[in-house]
Amino acid sequence: MQEQFKFHMPTEILFENGLTQKMGRYIKGSSVLIISDPFLYKNGTAQRIGDTLAGKTVTYFSDIEPNPSCESVDAATAVARESKADCVIGLGGGSSLDVSKIVSCLVTNPGSIYDYYSGGTRVLESRTTQLVCIPTTAGTGSEVTNVGVFTNRKTHIKMPMVNNQFWPDIAMIDPQLTYTLPSAVTASTGMDAFCHAIEAYWNKNALPMCDMLSMGALKLIIDNIKTAYDTPSNCEARSAMIVASLVAGISFSQTRTTGIHALSFPLTTEFGASHGTACSITLPAFIRVSSQYEAQKMNSLVHYLGYESVEQFADAVEALMRSMNMPVRLHELGVQEKDIPHIAEVGLSAAIIQLTPADMNQKTVEALLRSIL
């Protein structure tokens, strides 16, 4: 047990079925920009939320792609500045929420995202625009973190950006928004939340509070993800999954993630995998190596979750993924033996990989990748 630790969570969290239909009472200012992906705009979800904001000017931006690019951020920023937005609402999965974080800052900070991110020389000053994040998937946890992940098209590298201005003022959790998620998205985002929880648990920056949050989140996911996948209309399973995602998000917001996420970056940008798939495909392998430095802690976790050993737990996670038609071998993403050294090299360039409770170097990471090729 650590003798000293710090836990900081400045975001107000609101949870209620139907919450987004009465959110006007929580929105400050008069000019609101709602950032969503194209699907949520076309199906009317973004407009239905905007319609609840009586008396306010509402503008929409929906040109958000998966693994959002810096160009998308700059395009959304231009709309925010033109409308003089004093509130930015991020609606959707991690891509929309991440873009909303930096756009809320760039409303009053000059220049492009490139001036602040990935080699930029400017520093974001304090944010005055209200930031509200509303997740529509049970997975990313972005609504309760100070992290945004963006793809630099100039370098073709996807990397996280951490800034205390990115903490949302309010996270609005409305389980009803997840009830119509397709099964494939339920699986991918749910396993992303699983990765968040377990990476916070075994993390070299782990905290006692985060351990308890992660254990609870993992139990909720194990007990509910398959039900949500098989029976999308099961409201109890859906609510449990979005709570698990939220709790896992709070946990890893304090610790950051580890090797799973570091290796996911090239798997998304270069092999087209969704974020949740790119993370979870290495999850069983990382579970197997996690006992190198955290054997006692991992044994405690697997016994709490009802398994006899770490190896049995890893096998069960892989079987769960297979049961949801998720890839469990890298060749299913198109990865070949010749790609392994490059993927390892890119993953090792992310500092978070060294928060893994195992030796992470070119040789060990290549071996891990080959074990699931």
Could you tell me if 246 and 141 are in contact, meaning their C-beta atoms sit under 8 angstroms apart?
A: yes
Domain with CATH 3.40.50.1970 in the chain: 12-177
* Residue 268 to residue 92: CA distance in whole angstroms: 19
Global pTM value: 0.95
List C-alpha distances in Å: 39 to 27, 70, 73, 96: 24, 20, 18, 11
Give the Cβ contact number of residue 50 at 10 Å.
20
The CATH topology of domain 12-177 is Rossmann fold (3.40.50)
CATH code 1.20.1090.10 region(s) in the chain:
183-371
3 pLDDT higher than 80: no
Once rounded to an integer, what is the mean pLDDT over residues 77-83?
A: 98
Mean of the per-residue pLDDT values for the chain? 96
Taking the mean position of all CA atoms in its chain, how far away is CA 325?
21
Residues with Cβ within 8 Å of residue 37, at least 6 apart in sequence: 62, 64, 65, 92, 93, 95, 96
Judge residue 110's burial from the number of C-beta atoms within 10 Å of its C-beta, 0-12 exposed, 13-18 middle, 19 or more buried.
exposed
CA angle 104, 21, 52 (to 5 degrees): 65
Residue 157 has pLDDT above 90, yes or no: no
Quick one: how far is CA 172 from the chain centroid? 16
| pLDDT for the residue 32 | 98
d(CA 278, CA 275): 5
Work out the average pLDDT over 148-165: 90
- pLDDT above 90 (res 367): yes
The tokens describing 18, both together, are 């139907």
Mean pLDDT, rounded, for 346-358: 97
Exposed, middle or buried by CB within 10 Å (0-12, 13-18, 19+), for 82? exposed
Judged by average pLDDT, the poorest of 23-27, 118-122, 345-349, 364-368 is: 118-122
State mean pLDDT over 25-39.
96
Q: How confident is the model at residue 2 (pLDDT cuts 50, 70, 90)?
A: low
pLDDT of residue 1: 58
- DSSP notation for 242-310: HHHHHHHHHHHHHH---HHHHHHHHHHHTT---HHHHHHTTHHHHHHHTHHHHHHHHHHHHHHTT-SSH
Contact present, 22 and 52 (Cβ < 8 Å): yes
Q: What is the pLDDT of residues 189-244, one digit of tens each?
A: 999 999 999 999 999 999 999 999 999 999 999 999 999 999 999 999 999 999 99
Which residues make Cβ contacts (< 8 Å) with residue 127, sequence separation at least 6?
104, 105, 108, 165
What pLDDT was estimated at residue 166?
Answer: 98
Distances (CA, A) of 35 to 125, 187, 280: 22, 24, 27
Residue 132: which of 239, 12, 15 has the closest Cα?
Answer: 12
Which spans in the chain are helix H?
A: 38-42, 45-51, 70-82, 94-106, 183-202, 208-230, 235-255, 259-269, 275-280, 283-289, 291-304, 310-323, 340-348, 362-371
Contacts of 336 (CB under 8 A, 6+ apart): none
Of 155, 156, 128, 133, nearest in space to 143 by CA: 133
Q: What local confidence, expressed as pLDDT, does residue 277 receive?
A: 97
Architecture label for domain 183-371: Up-down Bundle (1.20)
Mean per-residue pLDDT, 296-310: 98
